[in-house]
Amino acid sequence: MARIAVGGTFDPLHKGHKALLAKAAELSRGGELLVGLTSSEMVKNKSHDVADYRQRFEDVSDFIRSQGIEPIIVRLEDPYGPTIHENFDHIVVSPETYPVALKINSIRRKNGLEPLKIVLVDYVLADDGLPISSTRIKKGEIDARGCVL
């Protein structure tokens, strides 16, 4: 039974996040999907406002359930969550979070654990050819589907 990990802030939940979560859901079929959702404390230093934890939890949960998977969602108080001490098979990341996965594997090796297989999901591009990002959405440049505003 595969255990898959994915993490993020997921606000607003956009087309890029959905591609990341859909890949994690696909890999977890017949297994377990753990989603680390950043706590309200962790997002205080973001350059834009972030929806409260409960709203983000519901949005992520609803989307993953629409993929036919019942996720386990845990609150992240640090960038690593349970991935540095629990057994997982894969960690699903974006180019933005790839360095965190490398750090997780470094910590796992130091702790005598096998490294996680890293599954990289590339950025989803907006209509203007640039990556869809929460920052761009919050600035009013694009919408959550990547349409230029």
Query: What are the structural domains, with CATH classification, of the chain?
Result: 3-123 (3.40.50.620)
Check if the beta carbon of residue 93 is closer than 8 Å to that of residue 86.
no
Question: In which element (H, E) is residue 100 found?
Answer: helix 98-110
- Answer yes or no: pTM beyond 0.85: yes
pLDDT in tens for each of the 149 residues of the chain? 899 999 999 999 999 999 999 999 999 999 999 999 999 888 887 767 889 999 999 999 999 999 999 999 999 999 999 999 999 999 999 999 999 999 999 999 999 999 999 999 999 999 999 999 999 999 999 999 999 99
Ranges of beta strands (E only) in 16-81 are: 32-38, 72-76
Of 103, 8, 91, 98, nearest in space to 46 by CA: 8
Distance CA 9, CA 41 (A): 11
SS3 119: strand
